[in-house]
Amino acid sequence: MNRQVKISIAAVIVYSLALALIPVFAGNYETRIAISVAMFSALALSWNFIGGFTGYPSFSTAAFFGLGCYIGALSQRAGMPAELAWIIATVGVAGFAAALGAIILRLKGHYFAIGSIAIVEVTRLIISSWGSVTGGGDGLNVPLMTGTPDVVAARILYIMLAVMGMAFVATVIVDRSRLGFGLRCIHQNEDAADMVGVDTTRFKIAAFVLSALFCGLVGAVYASWVGYIDPTDSFSILLTVKVPVMALLGGAGTLAGPIVGAGVFVLLEEFFWANFLQWNRAILGIIIVFLIFFLPGGLLKIRYKDLLKKLSANRSNTVSEGEAKG
């Protein structure tokens, strides 16, 4: 394990512990933000398998998340304990992704992007028109967790952090395994990878399933947390683009990038919601445009040392110029 990987792992552990301490020292509002941070970190880490390592522009996150919500909610309504419902949702969504991946991973580039967005639309439409099971557009109530709001929020935070931890561990393992190596090969040149013996179909499906299963789990936990789900909220096109943006913001294909990106994005979003309610969407749009032009590699790929050197060099230049004039 090289130094950089060790630093990433240590940083993520410290960061998770800090998030875990929030319910002890701060109120319900801060805990809610911490839950969002952990939740989006897990989603962004998931996306990173297919979008970051493999380089496939997948926009199916909301489909997996939404299906997780619904499978979890329906299982809980059928009388199962929450924990079992979450496991069923995870397995169900993973199975869905494996079957779907075998079909749509044959597509590449633009066609894959369009196909993956269409999956979100199709799942949303089916869920909302299948009213007898899913409640249609009226949505579903999910049995609430017992306990005071503080206790419930703290418990959800720990679960979300655990999911984030699992997704991160999976990332580290994949990164160091044959699978991760193969996925990077596919990213660089799929035909060449195929030629030298990477089983591209199997590898891509594995990445797609990895990108789905944590989303399913997060969705099911989310449903238990909020207590009410509906199709437009669960399968939102905004979510499906927001998650890749978070991963890109931190640095796609890196270990800790998605976590950094999700944290920064959620905090920015929270700040703009609170202060510029009417312009919230436009400001997020501006962030995206800014990201594409000025941070194409993400926050983790900026070379901060060079940046500092440049800044100090500039300053000394201006100082010496000022002296020369004086």
CB of 62 to other proteins, least distance (A): 12
Write down the least CB distance from residue 262 to other proteins, Å.
16
What tokens does 203 get? 């590898």
The answer to whether the beta carbons of residues 139 and 230 sit under 8 Å apart is yes
**Minimal CA–CA distance to 258: which of 191, 132, 172, 182?**
172
Is 140:134 a contact under the CB 8 Å cutoff? yes
Alpha-carbon distances, residue 114 vs 45, 57, 233, 285 (angstroms): 22, 9, 21, 20
What residues pair up with 21 in beta bridges, in sequence order?
Answer: none
Q: Between 55 and 227, name the residue whose CB sits nearer to other proteins.
A: 55
In angstroms, what is the minimal distance from the CB of 291 to other proteins? 8
CB of 237 to other proteins, least distance (A): 6
Q: Smaller CB distance to other proteins: residue 139 or 143?
A: 139
Going from the C-alpha of 5 to that of each of 1, 54, 298, the distances in angstroms are: 6, 19, 17
Q: Rounded to the nearest whole angstrom, what is the least distance from the CB of residue 112 to other proteins in the complex?
A: 8
Residue ranges binding other proteins (CB under 8 A):
51, 55, 57, 59, 103-104, 106-107, 109-111, 113-115, 117-119, 121-122, 125-126, 128-129, 237, 241, 244-245, 248, 278-282, 284-289, 291-293, 296
Q: Which is nearer to other proteins, 228 or 279 (CB)?
A: 279
Q: Is 90 helix (H, G, I), strand (E, B) or coil?
A: helix
Cβ proximity to other proteins: between 221 and 252 the closer is 252
* Residue 16 or 128 having the CB closest to other proteins: 128
Least gap, CB of 265 to other proteins (angstroms)? 13
Which residue lies nearer to other proteins by CB, 223 or 242? 242
d(CA 227, CA 283): 29
- Using CB atoms within 10 A of its CB, is residue 65 exposed (0-12), middle (13-18) or buried (19+)? buried
